[in-house]
Chain A
Amino acid sequence: MLSLLVATAVALIRVRGLLASIMLTSVYGLLSASFFVIMDAVDVAFTEAAVGAGVSPLLLLLTVAIVGRKEAAPAQGRRAAMPILLVTVTGALLIIGTLDMPPFGAADAPVHQHVAPYYLEQSGGEIGIPNVVTSVLASYRAYDTLGEVLVIFTAGVAVILALAPPGQRGSFRLDDSSATPFVPNTIVQVVSKLLIPFMLLFACYVQFHGEYGPGGGFQAGVIFASGIILYGLLYGLPTVCRAIPPPVVEVLAAVGVLIYGLTGVLSLLGGSSFLDYGVFADDPVTAQHIGIVCIELGVGITVAAVIITIYYAFARQQERGRS
């Protein structure tokens, strides 16, 4: 499995032409996700499948559609030797470093000695949900997760800022909805129309099932967004913008963060520390449940909205390039 990963990476180096590289990136994403399944990291595999094999190749594709797929020849001769030398030396140093690491899979490695046993043993009683990953993510380390959600939100804002045309105020509107002639592709459109509702429904299932099985806000957001992106790819940007207006999405991205933050503030007002859910109900387990559901909802909304926003920004750029 891992050797396959290396082979893909090597092929990525050798392949010229960006479209081919992107196909390989997608395959690479699938491969690493399968690897995560074998390593028991189901939640991670979930995310990587949706992100590494789905959204990130799509964004790369949109970029390539804007900037063109030609790639210059790599440097030859002495200029090419320098990176190889640098890489080899760094790699060799790192390999020497690994010799001190605990063997793979050992149960007594230092990683497994500190907080992890506590999470595994106590979370069943304290939080009361089976998926330990979710309870660590949304309860024990909720503060970290808040930071990460903010990073995602900021990234969305940055993309909007970077791609906004000069002089634009407020959210973008499509000015030339009739300018782009759209080639219908009936069979694919009809089948996708059937599939997209299931996709969105499945995203909701992932969102609310995240406490019992693999899943949660991050995964659900990405799946939801990729359903919308599929709709946009097939029916064109104007149609999808009419169904889900960009200003609404932008507001939703903020609302998601707000839900997360408010959950923390409410717990402050209730007299305990930030993001400590103990105040939401008399029974601590129920309280934890309420807190986790709120937070996951905030995460899901933010992630979905930010990715849709990013897609809108890129797709609009691409449409402008076309007309």
Chain B
Amino acid sequence: MDVFSYFNYWVVIALMMLGFYIVIARGNLVKKLIGLNIFQTSVFILYISAGKVSGGAAPILADGIALYSNPLPHVLILTAIVVGIATTSVGLALVVRIHAAYGSVEEDEILEQDAPC
């Protein structure tokens, strides 16, 4: 079996895990959102890799091309990217509000302030 045929998927998993690691191991909320972004991109890459056909062309119909890549993942991911930025910005807005309320964006410090209640 060809090892390289799975290389893309492994990279996706590596990226996903790196993003995951940032999300759970870093206390800074902005950094967590960056990690979430990486996680998200890894999913995009997974979909796009799945849609690729070796030797295929971009799915824009033209004469003389018989093999196209799969357009469906492209549609899904295209909208997902824009939705992703919209949700990220909601997250960032919440971070700004948290900063206004607690004066910090570090998870530990926020938890400390909450503890006595």
Contacts and interface: CB of A to CB of B under 8 A. Distances in A.
A/B: CB atoms within 8 Å of each other = yes
A59 B96 contact: no
B86 A41 contact: no
Contacts of A74: 25-27
A217 to B, nearest CB: 9
Contacts of A42: 58, 60
B38 A44 contact: no
Contacts of B96: 63, 66-67, 162-163, 314, 317
A41 B11 contact: no
Contact of B71 (A64, A107, A133, A145): A133
B53 A43 contact: no
- Chain A binding surface SS class: helix
Interface stretch (A81-89, A187-195, A233-241, A268-276): A81-89
Interface string A79-106: 0100110111011001100110101111
> Interface residues of A toward B: which range?
35 or more
A159 B90 contact: yes
A83 B25 contact: yes
> Interface residues of B toward A: which range?
35 or more
A95 B5 contact: no
Nearest to B38: A9
Contacts of A56: 37, 85, 88
A107 B54 contact: yes
A173 interface: no
Contacts of A111: 50-51, 70, 72-73
A5 B70 contact: no
Interface in B2-42: 2, 4-11, 13-22, 24-28, 30-31, 33-35, 37-38, 41
Contacts of B7: 2, 104
A318 to B, nearest CB: 9
A21 B34 contact: yes
Contacts of A48: 44, 81
Contacts of B26: 71, 74
Given A44-B44, A67-B105, A91-B13, A303 B21 contact: no
Contacts of A120: 59, 61, 68, 71
A36 interface: yes
| Chain A CB within 10 Å, residue with most, of B67, B94, B96 | B96
Given A2-B11, A51-B82, 9 more contacts: A12-B35, A18-B28, A29-B41, A40-B58, A41-B74, A44-B81, A52-B41, A162-B96, A163-B96
Interface of B: 2, 4-11, 13-22, 24-28, 30-31, 33-35, 37-38, 41, 44-45, 48-62, 67-75, 77-79, 81-90, 92-97, 99, 105-106, 108-109
29 contacts: A3-B11, A5-B15, A9-B14, A13-B22, A41-B51, A41-B73, A44-B81, A48-B81, A52-B41, A59-B89, A75-B25, A75-B27, A84-B21, A87-B17, A87-B24, A90-B17, A91-B13, A95-B10, A95-B13, A111-B73, A120-B68, A120-B71, A131-B59, A133-B60, A133-B75, A151-B83, A151-B86, A152-B83, A314-B89
